């Protein structure tokens, strides 16, 4: 009997010892860095999503502490105060702009607090100080937003289905164009005629381009002729000054000479005016065609979209011709 009592006592002693050991293991497991120097910081969340005392606190993926306490604030905000115990070794990385976020760990769903390292320009957080928080996105919120997106997608699909059905029934402009064969054929013929007209107009534009080239050559020819007249007049003037040849008799009776030169000047001025007028009108027409939607691409391919090279060339030649006419007038006055 005494032996049996002794065995029971030993069993009870072993059971109590094992119970104390298990409880101690759990207590130690909830206290990270039990024998390390720590400091506390606080943060606030509207929803901690099951975060509890003893949850891990991580910084850059490293366990640096644990949640010391979780309490609801005694005010109307309804926020939850989370106090964290963090090892002193990482205190230099915990700044006033450090942010704390609650994340889910693995498939089990354990909650951990993840800290984002603050910037070097911010001040270090003092013991018992407060850091910023980032509200977690709850699974229920994701489901709610997803349902809203799905509902919106269903409405869009329904609207598209209605549009396709209306088109198939021949309703609306697009439906009539696709279903009505007569309207489709008319549109095809209209497109073909427009293409033919565009080809004809393109040929006309090419003809105008040739005409413009010829106009430039004509002005250049007039300039050359005026140069020849000026050279001849220079020769005549030189001979008159030296008293050579039969020019002396012309000087005694210059009426016929003045009349001849006056006719030359008049003809040159008329030719210049006609050339200038034709160049101006043609330049205006070409500029209007360049801005017409039917011929815009043609001029772009030809390189005429900016001010036409022909216009610059004609303008330069006309200016040169005017200078030559002035020189010719001076020679005639000299005579």
pLDDT in tens, 107-144: 667 889 999 988 888 888 888 899 988 887 666 666 77
Q: Is residue 83 part of a domain?
A: yes
Q: Which residue's structure tokens are 């004609």?
A: 314
Give me the chain's average pLDDT, please. Answer: 71
- Report the C-alpha gap between 143 and 121 in whole angstroms: 39
Tell me what pLDDT residue 247 has: 47
Assess whether 112 and 154 both reside in one domain.
no
Q: Is residue 20 part of a domain?
A: no
To 5 degrees, how large is the angle CA 284–CA 289–CA 294? 170
For the stretch 283-335, pLDDT in tens is 565 566 556 555 556 555 555 544 456 556 666 666 666 676 676 666 656 65
Assess whether 152 and 123 both reside in one domain.
no
pLDDT for residue 84 is more than 90: yes
- Report the C-alpha gap between 224 and 237 in whole angstroms: 20
To 5 degrees, how large is the angle CA 102–CA 106–CA 111? 30
Asked if 44 contacts 132 with a C-beta cutoff of 8 angstroms, the reply is no
Last residue of a domain, one of 136, 153, 170: 136
pLDDT class for 165, splitting at 50, 70, 90? confident
Q: Which residue's structure tokens are 């007039």?
A: 222
Assess whether 217 and 328 both reside in one domain.
yes
- Report the C-alpha gap between 187 and 172 in whole angstroms: 16
Tell me what pLDDT residue 158 has: 80
Assess whether 175 and 109 both reside in one domain.
no
Q: Is residue 78 part of a domain?
A: yes
Q: Which residue's structure tokens are 């289905």?
A: 161
Assess whether 57 and 144 both reside in one domain.
no
Assess whether 98 and 142 both reside in one domain.
no
Instruction: Report CA-CA distances (Å) from 305 to 132, 174, 213, 278, 299.
Output: 60, 36, 17, 21, 6
Assess whether 118 and 146 both reside in one domain.
no
Q: Give the tokens for residue 269.
A: 């001025």
Q: Report the b/e string of 200-217 with b at 16+ CB within 10 A.
A: eeeeebeeeeeebeebbe
Total domains present in the chain: 3
Report H helices in the chain: 2-29, 139-168, 172-179, 181-242, 247-252, 255-290, 296-302, 309-334
Tell me what pLDDT residue 252 has: 46
Q: Give the tokens for residue 56.
A: 């891990």
Q: Is residue 300 part of a domain?
A: yes
Assess whether 87 and 50 both reside in one domain.
yes
3-state class of 65 per DSSP? Answer: strand
Assess whether 222 and 297 both reside in one domain.
yes
- Report the C-alpha gap between 126 and 96 in whole angstroms: 9
Q: Is residue 13 part of a domain?
A: no
Assess whether 215 and 321 both reside in one domain.
yes
Q: Is residue 51 part of a domain?
A: yes
pLDDT for residue 232 is more than 50: yes
- Could you list the residue range(s) of the whole structural domain that residue 154 is in? 138-179
Assess whether 288 and 212 both reside in one domain.
yes
Assess whether 204 and 310 both reside in one domain.
yes
For the stretch 177-194, pLDDT in tens is 556 566 666 667 777 777
Q: Is residue 29 part of a domain?
A: no
Q: Is residue 305 part of a domain?
A: yes
């Amino acid at each position: 009997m005494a032996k049996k009592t002794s065995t029971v006592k030993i069993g009870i002693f072993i059971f109590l010892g094992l119970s104390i050991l298990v409880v101690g293991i759990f207590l130690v497991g909830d206290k990270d860095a039990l024998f390390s120097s720590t400091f506390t910081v606080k943060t606030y969340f509207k929803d901690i999503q099951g975060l509890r005392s003893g949850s891990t606190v991580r910084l850059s993926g490293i366990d640096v502490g644990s949640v010391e306490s979780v309490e609801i604030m005694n005010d109307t905000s309804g926020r939850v105060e989370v106090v964290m115990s963090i090892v002193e070794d990482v205190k230099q990385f915990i700044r006033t702009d450090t942010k704390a976020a609650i994340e889910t760990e693995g498939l089990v769903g354990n909650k951990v607090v993840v800290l984002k390292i603050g910037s070097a320009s911010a001040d270090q957080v003092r013991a018992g100080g407060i850091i910023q928080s980032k509200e977690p996105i709850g699974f229920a919120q994701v489901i709610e937003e997803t349902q809203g997106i799905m509902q919106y997608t269903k409405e869009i699909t329904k609207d598209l289905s209605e549009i396709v059905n209306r088109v198939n029934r021949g309703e609306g402009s697009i439906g009539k164009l696709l279903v009505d064969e007569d309207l489709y054929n008319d549109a095809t013929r209209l497109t073909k005629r427009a293409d033919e007209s565009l080809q004809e107009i393109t040929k006309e534009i090419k003809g105008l381009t040739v005409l413009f080239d010829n106009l430039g050559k004509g002005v250049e020819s007039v300039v050359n002729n005026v140069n020849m007249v000026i050279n001849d007049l220079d020769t005549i003037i030189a001979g008159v000054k030296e008293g050579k040849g039969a020019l002396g008799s012309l000087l005694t009776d210059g009426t016929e000479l003045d009349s001849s030169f006056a006719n030359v000047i008049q003809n040159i001025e008329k030719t210049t005016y006609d050339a200038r007028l034709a160049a101006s009108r043609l330049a205006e027409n070409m500029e209007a065609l360049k801005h017409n939607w039917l011929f815009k691409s043609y001029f772009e391919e030809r390189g005429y979209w900016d001010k036409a090279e022909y216009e610059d060339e004609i303008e330069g030649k006309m200016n040169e011709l005017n200078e030559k006419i002035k020189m010719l007038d001076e020679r005639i006055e000299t005579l």
